[in-house]
Amino acid sequence: MAPRLSLTMIVRDEEATLGRVLAQAGQFCDELVVVDTGSTDGTRSIAEAAGARVLDFTWIDDFAAARNHALEAATGDWVLWLDADDVLTTDVQAAMRVVKETVLSGDLDAIYSPYRYHFDAAGICTSTFPRERLVRKTEGLTWVGRVHEVLHIPGPRILHRDDLYVEHRPLEANQAAKVGRNLRILESAHTAGDRSSRTLLYYARELCDNKRYAEAYDAFEEYLTEPGADWEKHSALVRMAECALEMDRVDEARGRLFEALTLDPRRAEPFLMLGHLHFIHEEWSKALPWYSAATALARPSDGFTQPADYSWRPWDHLSVCLINTGKLAEGIAATLKAIELGCPDVDRLRKNATWAIDRVTR
């Protein structure tokens, strides 16, 4: 007999997208639990019409607290969490049904899957992050973090399933309304004396995203005194380099990138950034080895990644370096590889290859 699966959500004024995700999750979930944190639109009626049990929660600028309210109310053996602007494709719905029937059991504690949270104008995913998506409801399971909250999973038995990806598809109007919210909450926590590793990391990231680079750099530096997981520390070092470059502190940026390389040489981001420091000055021979190294890296399963960094992007830049250093045949091959791996700027690459071919055949 398959375990009971509960969906848990926290929402506020999500009438535009809530019905969609509830209909999708309803294809395989046994229970829909929706916690409303103060909606003034039709969110509640949409949730109720979809068969959800709707609970109220007074908003206290704490996402973990709201999610824990939903988690406590869930009665299933397993829990799936989603946001109102998430999307489960038909393929994912089918995979969820299979996983529910054949994988979820007392011998497993959680399943992680990709969270595809940013897309370009062509609809191609540009950023992804593995998230704890399906969790067995057991003692000690709890959400932590006022912003960018995560589930603390008490058991070690973890499975990764790429076929259970969730797409984050917010409406532009909703995004505009949420601008500054996370920074406001984290700034308040920081001002109140919260110096936890997670708060410092995401406070620094929000400052950077809001172009407050000097403050972000200082917050990252404070985070590094007691960093979290290696992938978080690596991310902090790379973002510090971004901040330093924005402040025209190139040597400082380069130093942070070398720190990141030393910490985890599996990740492409510092290689690409170090290559870029030469690329922008047309120092092709100096940029070339950095891009070449990046082409050999497989995308890691943990931390923030951009799929292009582990597919077409390093080949694109490598092709330009090769062509400009006279290695035309290799440059043409790298150009074709960038196209094969999905570079969207095919016209530019085609022109580059044609230019190189003309010189080879002269």
Give the three-class secondary structure for 253. helix
Q: How far is CA 214 from the centre of its chain?
A: 24
- Please count the other Cβ atoms lying within 10 Å of the Cβ belonging to residue 249: 17
Residue with token string 């206290």: 60
State which amino acid sits at residue 173. Answer: A
Give the three-class secondary structure for 86. strand
- Where does the chain show beta strands of DSSP type E? 5-11, 31-36, 53-56, 78-81, 86-87, 110-119, 125-136, 142-144, 150-152, 158-160, 166-168
Calculate ∠ Cα 85-53-77, nearest 5°: 90
Q: What's the CATH number for 5-174?
A: 3.90.550.10
Q: Which of 338, 252, 329, 349 is nearest to 294 (CA)?
A: 338
Domain ranges of the chain: 5-174, 180-264, 278-362
pLDDT for 304-326, tens place per residue? 999 999 999 999 999 999 999 99
Per residue in 93-107, is it b (16+ CB within 10 Å) or e — as a string? bebbeebbeebbeee
List of residues 6+ apart from 253 with CB closer than 8 A: 240, 241, 242, 244, 245, 273, 277
Q: What is the pLDDT of residue 177?
A: 65
pTM score of the predicted model: 0.89
Tell the burial category of 294 from Cβ atoms under 10 Å away from its Cβ (0-12, 13-18, 19+).
buried
Q: What is the pLDDT of residue 358?
A: 86
Q: What's the CATH number for 180-264?
A: 1.25.40.10
Q: What is the pLDDT of residue 176?
A: 64
Calculate helix-pair angle for 213-223, 230-246, nearest 10 degrees: 150
Give the separation between CA 236 and CA 305, rounded to whole angstroms.
Answer: 13
Q: What is the pLDDT of residue 361?
A: 78
What percent of the chain is predicted at pLDDT more than 90?
Answer: 91
Q: How far is CA 340 from the centre of its chain?
A: 24
Q: What is the pLDDT of residue 320?
A: 97
* Residues in the chain, pLDDT under 50: none
* Tokens coding 251: 């040597």
Give the separation between CA 174 and CA 167, rounded to whole angstroms.
Answer: 16
Q: What is the pLDDT of residue 28?
A: 98
Q: What is the pLDDT of residue 173?
A: 74
Q: What is the pLDDT of residue 11?
A: 98
